[in-house]
Structure 1
Amino acid sequence: MARGGQGLARVAVVVRAGAAPLWWAGVFAAGVGVVPPGVTGRRIGVLAGAALFILAAGAVAYTRRRRYADLAHAAARASKHDVLQDRAVSVRTWRRGHRWWLLLAFVLALGSSFAVPAAGGMLLAGTGTGLRLKAAWLGRRERAEDTLLWVRVDWLDRRGGRPAGKPVKAYRGTGIAAGDAAPGGARRRSAVLV
């Protein structure tokens, strides 16, 4: 990067990147998973899956919130030489880096249906829901503080791309209009001109 600038990716986008593939893989695995009666039977499998869905969503949504809050509180202003990564690039990079983990999780969820029908798929879907809830929490925080949170791309490349992992030393902040993603990491809706 020229003049000491860094490549920056949106924190909420990276958190949200795994939500859709985990959700859809979980829904598909749960749907297919109710076909075999399994060891426990369908009713017990679905009830266990519903409990796992709620537990996974809550655990993922609330895990490491304090770390995110501490990094957000200490965020420095981004330099004019920093390069803001597009939302699509951040999502694609995260999904490519985790594709084998996502496939393994799907296969395990599908395979577990022969023991406890639908439970593995519902656990996977709950994990995706938890990531979406965490991204929404980050979005509310960004709106309240009127600052979008960014993390250095080179820190994301280490240890699986976790935006609050040990390699991440600090976040950077920009104005609310920067980049192509809205607060919370969703695609920014363009205003319709009349």
Structure 2
Amino acid sequence: MARADRRAHGLARVAVVVRAGAAPLWWCGVVAAGVGVPVPGITGRRIGVLAAAALFLVTAAVVAYRGRRRYRTLARGAARAGRHDVLQDRAVTVRNWRRGHRWWLLVAFAAALGSSFAVPAAGGGLLAGCAVGLWLKSAWLGRREREADALLWVRVDWLGRRGGRPAGKAVKGYRSTGIAAGDAAPGGARRRTAALV
């Protein structure tokens, strides 16, 4: 029988990693769309806005449903986190993701702005759709966590250099803890604490 790995591993919440990019993508998309709407572009403003709305809806659906089978497989095989594992704070996980993707976000924002000269607001709609899709995926993970009464965690060293692939090929499995562990609620949002009286 193989010896258990008793080394301490840093664990990040899966749902927190998933939703870490939602807010910056949303604001990049909203700003890019807002700046792009006054630009007539090649297609004209009306067609551009309609294209942005269509891209928003399609992208949100694709991002929300993409990879769910992989998440289910990893969640079913989740092992209980050990006492040697270290649970990473939500703020640290979010900061690591955003630092690792800051240049990608900048390029995506610039591309969305540039696309307005061809199809007004379309690039912004695409980025905003990605953001909503990530929020929907994290909400879906939150429902799974509540149903299983267990939070899902992934080893930090498996997330990659940019810290953002919670269901990538490098991830061998998830760890699980009780629903009250860590500082993030099911789905990865900030945990609401009861007011002191």
The CA deviation at 1:193 is 3.1
Q: Is the 8 A contact 1:56 1:127 kept in 2?
A: yes
Determine the structure 2 residue equivalent to 1:104.
107
Determine the structure 2 residue equivalent to 1:178.
181
Determine the structure 1 residue equivalent to 2:164.
161
Residue 65 to residue 54, structure 1, CA distance change in 2 (3 Å): same
The CA deviation at 1:103 is 0.4
Matches within 5 A, 1:27-66: 27-66=30-69
The CA deviation at 1:5 is 1.5
Matches within 5 A, 1:137-148: 137-148=140-151
Determine the structure 1 residue equivalent to 2:29.
26
Q: Distance in 1 between matches of 2:64 and 2:9?
A: 29
> What SS does the corresponding residue of 1:114 show, helix, strand or coil?
coil
Could you state the TM-score of these two structures normalised by the residue count of structure 1?
0.97
Q: How far does the alpha carbon of each residue in 1:149-193 deviate from its partner, in whole angstroms, 9 at most, with x for none? A: 000000012576210000000000000000000000000010123
Give the letter aligned to residue 161 of structure 1: G
Larger displacement relative to structure 2 (16-25 or 152-161): 152-161
Determine the structure 1 residue equivalent to 2:137.
134
> What SS does the corresponding residue of 2:169 show, helix, strand or coil?
coil
Q: Point out where structure 2 has 5 or more consecutive residues left out of the alignment.
A: 1-5
Q: 1:9 aligns with which of 1, 12, 29?
A: 12
Q: Point out where structure 1 has 5 or more consecutive residues left out of the alignment.
A: none
> What SS does the corresponding residue of 2:114 show, helix, strand or coil?
helix
Q: Is the 8 A contact 2:20 2:98 kept in 1?
A: yes
Larger displacement relative to structure 2 (121-130 or 154-163): 154-163
Q: Distance in 2 between matches of 1:189 and 1:178?
A: 13
| Structure 1 stretches of at least 4 aligned residues deviating more than 4 Å after TM superposition | none
Q: Is the 8 A contact 1:13 1:90 kept in 2?
A: yes
Q: Distance in 2 between matches of 1:170 and 1:24?
A: 32
Q: Does 1:77 align with 2:80?
A: yes
> What SS does the corresponding residue of 2:191 show, helix, strand or coil?
coil
Could you state the TM-score of these two structures normalised by the residue count of structure 2?
0.96
Give the letter aligned to residue 123 of structure 1: L
Q: Distance in 1 between matches of 2:165 and 2:84?
A: 24
Q: How far does the alpha carbon of each residue in 1:115-163 deviate from its partner, in whole angstroms, 9 at most, with x for none? A: 0000100110000100000000000100010000000000012576210
Identity of aligned residues (%): 78
